[in-house]
Amino acid sequence: MGLDPSAGTVLWSVERASGSLVPPALDPSTGSHGVIVYPEGAGAGGAVVGIDLSTRVRLWRTPLSSAAVGAPTISGGHVFVGTGDGYVYSLEASTGAVAWRTRTQGTVDTSPAVADGRVFAIGETTSSGRLYALDVATGRVSWSYSPGRVAVPSSSPSVLGDSVFVGFGDRSLVALDAGSGRVRWRQQVRGDFSGASAPAVANGSVFAADREGGLYRFDARTGHRIWDYQFSSFTQLSSPLVVGGFVFEGLDDGTIAAVSVRTGHLRWKTTPGLGPIGPLAPDGDLLLASTQPVQQGAKGGMLAFQHDPAVPLVDLPSSSSLRPLVAIRNFAAAFVLMTAGLLGFFRLLLSRGLGGRRRVDHGLDESVTSSLPHGEESP
């Protein structure tokens, strides 16, 4: 469906076979009017379809060996997409012809990233995830990387310059050299990742969201954690979006939140209550968001938000952040309470112990006195 972003009215729609709901890819430079590419179908009936961006006429439909469940990526006149049976495909964006396909170790549920002559994609088994760097022209494997332990599910990869960033299921965010696969840094987070989410790279920083509602900012070069913000909901369908001084994130409870890039504090949030939030997109001064159906047969939707200058922003730190003054105050209060409790406990023990000793001594005096000969006194 195509909608007017300012009004939300439906401009056009095309029929699509049922299947996984994933974002389409657009390339205005392909053909005479540009192209929209989207997966459709399920199982062995999976395919990728290309339609004219202007007329919505179908240009091509390419069957796949299995359905695609991750969003396609368009780069350099080619469409790159992964499939449930473990293949990464390269298709001609103008014709849909298969340029190459390469098998990975497992399913490719994530969206590929393309940069500097390589395609980066994640192949997953039930216990491990592996990042593949494929030659963009031939599909040949240049290198691959796996954490070497249970590391599923993984995020989609993101690449900027000579670094590729990906979150693995062992709760680590990893930065690798895009040319060699050498690990540049690895940082632990509190949760694992979703294949429907990808790190965002902006202004020398990497912003990543784990499935447990953690949003993080790392220095892209060193991996130093600058801040993190913990939400009270899971987030599995949305990626961080950095625009201006804000990081926007959609949550599974239907909340959309804005966090300050500089401080990591929450600036605003809203919960329309229309279902889990999917991909976000900017359009001028609008923030566009998709809502996902929560059950089979339910309907998704689209939302558009615009800043209201009459409403003040909040400035709330994360519950996971350390606030020294609050921590010292809480520690002092806890120390006083614990000390008072321990003193009371030991006083009770001492009082009971002394009372028992007196009773024993008194009984001992009586027994000794009764055993002395008549007329003698006990010492």
Domain topology for 104-198: Thrombin, subunit H (2.40.10)
Share of the chain above pLDDT 90, in %: 74
Q: Which structure tokens are listed for 332?
A: 């002092």
Mean local confidence (pLDDT), 358-371 = 44
What span, in angstroms and rounded, lies between the C-alpha atoms of 251 and 232? 9
pLDDT at residue number 330: 60
pLDDT on residue 377 = 41
Distance from chain centroid for Cα 368: 80
* pTM reported for the whole predicted model: 0.83
pLDDT category of residue 364 using cuts at 50, 70 and 90: very low
Average pLDDT, the chain: 89
Q: Two tokens at 254?
A: 């239907």
- For residue 99, the model assigns a pLDDT of 98
Cis upstream peptide for 39 (omega within 30°) = no
Per-residue model confidence as pLDDT tens digits over 269-320: 999 988 999 999 999 999 999 998 777 667 789 999 998 999 999 999 998 7
pLDDT of 338: 75
The residue with greater pLDDT, 130 or 321, is: 130
- Whether the pLDDT of residue 367 is over 60: the answer is no
> What are the domain boundaries of the chain?
1-102, 104-198, 328-367
Whether pLDDT at 371 is above 50: no
Cα dihedral 188, 238, 160, 70 sign: positive
Q: What is the mean pLDDT of residues 134-151?
A: 93
Whole-number percent of the chain with pLDDT over 70: 87
Nearest to 20 by CA among 37, 36, 38: 38
Q: What is the pLDDT of residue 378?
A: 37
pLDDT at residue 273 in the model:
84
> CB under 8 Å, gap of 24 or more: what pairs does 8-16 form?
8/302, 8/304, 12/56, 14/51, 14/56, 14/58, 16/40, 16/49
Least confident of 53-67, 86-100, 144-158, 329-343: 329-343
pLDDT band of residue 196 (cuts 50, 70, 90) is very high
85 CB-contact burial (10 Å; exposed 0-12 / middle 13-18 / buried 19+)? middle
pLDDT (0 to 100) of residue 150: 80
Span 66-99, pLDDT tens digits: 999 999 999 999 999 999 999 999 999 999 999 9
For residue 207, pLDDT over 70 is answered with yes
Predicted pLDDT of residue 31? 86
1-102 is a CATH 2.40.10.480 domain:
yes
Tokens of 135: 């030659």
Q: What 3 state SS string does the chain have?
A: CEECCCCCCEEECCCCCCECCCCCEEECCCCCCCEEEEEEECHHHCEEEEEECCCCCEEEEEECCCCCCCCCEEECCEEEEECCCCEEEEEECCCCCEEEEEECCCECCCCCEEECCEEEEEEECCCCEEEEEEECCCCCEEEEECCCCCCCCCCCCEEECCEEEEEECCCEEEEEECCCCCEEEEEECCCCCCCCCCCEEECCEEEEECCCCEEEEEECCCCCEEEEEECCCCCCCCCCEEECCEEEEECCCCCEEEEECCCCCEEEEECCCCCCEEEEEEECCEEEEEECCCCCCCCCEEEEEECCCCCCCCCECCCCCCCHHHHHHHHHHHHHHHHHHHHHHHHHHHHHHHHHHHHHHHHHHHHHHHCCCCCCCCC
